[in-house]
Structure 1
């Protein structure tokens, strides 16, 4: 009599067996999935040599702090909105203060103004070990530097080639272009003092006055609305002298929008 023996090892594993094997091995394989990659052979370094100038040895006690710090920073960066559509003005040789004005609320709103106002950065190391606070600061600083670079016209961008921090680029731009903005402010104020309607229509004249007013406001050199109205009245010319006297005799100052409507009505009367 012959006995036929068939080994179970050659039979395909059933679904239940596969699932059981997976559950058995999963606790063993799980730590391997999250083990940090080795940067180099351990023999290459001494026990006290960090594997990277920014990231300490994974076996060191600082590793947990660094990972948590970097993860926190990256999470916060992910929450920052894209600002490219907010930076409508690119810096040129003549619009520094306008350009700076659009940046200020963005920096304050994202709590990043400290990167351009001269606040000292954290030290790179503390007691000979990488400083997690510096690493977090550096990541944010490079984001601010990228924003600055992206808002510059091509000729201006060449002025900050080599800048490696936001404060470095910001200071260079301020030194180079802020004086030009002061010239622009002086020119706008002179234009306002010499404002004259000549042969312009009321619409053209008022729009020109309002444009100067808005530019001074954007350059952090605002004038009061009463001053704007006074400049407009003085520049209307002799044809509007009776109208000007009536406005100046009022006990309550007139607003720009109200003056605009009154002047349009007066212009229509004079043309009829």
Structure 2
């Protein structure tokens, strides 16, 4: 029985196995690892199809009988099948090509497989589920990664791009529009003008152009953010002037309202017209124009006086400021100088102080 290449499929390289092995080995440049099975498969499959050898890995080119019977009757005998020898040569060529494209770690786990179809099947069973789980994990990271305040625009772009590159290595590459959609979704409200401008475009934008615009937007935000913060702080200080009674935030705390001899107290009020410096606590200028703004050792007069009062009052740090509570029915004080008007108390109510003593309607009853 005569055999030709047309009789048995996949025999283009049968006349020169060494040349075919060399060409196949150079065509598959990706080294197979546990992380890139789909990428490796995407490169190996077309190479095998181009040489009409893919049937050896998917099982469509089956192995013929290893022996055939020649002669008849008493002269019949078993001889090696030339078709099997040809199939075996091609199968080992494909197997050698696949093995030579693996990393050492993967190669150590594939040594027990003797045919190309067995090796191909084992790789699918071992790596397909692992890579699918990894694909889902990377998609989750793409969807949930946000640009935080402590992350630069460049670091955010590179992280999202690395996720996209991982998807490509897994055999599921994303196009630029898909990657851009993930990146825009992760930007904060401060980048809303950039997001609106890009989504309003009729023509697609490349990732390189988007990266340039993202950096430009970040530079503008960094340039204006410090000025805005300082001006906002200065406006707050203008609306709520500093008082010598120790208050920076409102009219009800401090000695301004407590001494009460017919006026607002010892504090000086400017009606919120002039700004108050947040560095030195003085009127007439803001923090940007303060001479003490770079003096880290400077301590405002109010802070020094508070430190001295704390030292004089002992370990309990008693606050002697008069606090006005407009929701109280009555007020108590041991210092009559704190009251504008007072009279002797004639009611039946009593007050018990911390040392256990009490006072009520007696000759020495306190005034109110």
Q: Which residue of 2 aligns with 1:242?
A: 193
1:244 Cα shift? 1.4
Quick check: which one's helix share is greater?
1
1:203 Cα shift? 2.8
Correspondence 1:88-107 to 2 at 5 A: 88-107=29-48
> Which has the greater radius of gyration?
2
Give distance in 2, aligned partners of 1:65 and 1:109: 20
Q: Which residue of 2 aligns with 1:177?
A: 127
Task: Determine if the alignment matches structure 1 residue 200 to structure 2 residue 151.
Answer: yes
Task: Determine if the alignment matches structure 1 residue 213 to structure 2 residue 164.
Answer: yes
1:261 Cα shift? 2.3
Q: 1:194 to 1:72 in 2, by over 3 A?
A: closer
1:80–1:110 CA contact under 8 A, matched in 2: no
Give distance in 2, aligned partners of 1:253 and 1:73: 49
- 2:16 partner SS: helix
Task: Determine if the alignment matches structure 1 residue 73 to structure 2 residue 23.
Answer: no
Greater relative contact order: 1 or 2 (C-alpha under 8 angstroms, separation 6 or more)?
Answer: 1
Q: Which residue of 2 aligns with 1:160?
A: 110
Q: 1:151 to 1:229 in 2, by over 3 A?
A: same
Give distance in 2, aligned partners of 1:71 and 1:98: 26
RMSD of equivalent CA atoms: 3.1
Give distance in 2, aligned partners of 1:116 and 1:178: 16
Give the number of aligned pairs.
209
Gaps of 5+ in 2: 70-78, 224-368
Q: 1:73 to 1:110 in 2, by over 3 A?
A: same
Deviation sequence 1:80-134 (CA, Å, 0-9, x none): 5445555454333333223323322322233221111221324125863644333
Provide TM-score, normalisation by structure 2. Answer: 0.49
Gaps of 5+ in 1: 1-60
1:125–1:131 CA contact under 8 A, matched in 2: yes
Give distance in 2, aligned partners of 1:103 and 1:130: 32
Deviation sequence 1:123-173 (CA, Å, 0-9, x none): 125863644333222111101111222233344334323211101111112
Q: 1:115 to 1:72 in 2, by over 3 A?
A: closer
Task: Determine if the alignment matches structure 1 residue 262 to structure 2 residue 216.
Answer: no
Provide TM-score, normalisation by structure 1. Answer: 0.64
